[in-house]
Amino acid sequence: MIDSNVDVHVELAKVQKEIEEHLGLKKDTMVFEYSQVDNKAKLNLITINPRHRQSFLFHSVTAYDRLEALRKMLDYVKNVKDKENHYTVQWMTRIDSELHTSYFRASSIYDALDKLYYGRDMNTITVFSVVLNPIT
This prediction's pTM: 0.88
DSSP conformation class of 29: G
Rounded to an integer, what distance in angstroms lies between the CA atom of residue 94 and that of residue 27?
28
Indicate the fold that domain 1-83 takes in CATH: Double Stranded RNA Binding Domain (3.30.160)
117 vs 2, more confident: 117
Rounded to an integer, what distance in angstroms lies between the CA atom of residue 21 and that of residue 115?
22
| pLDDT at 116 exceeding the cut of 70 | yes
Domain ranges of the chain: 1-83, 84-136
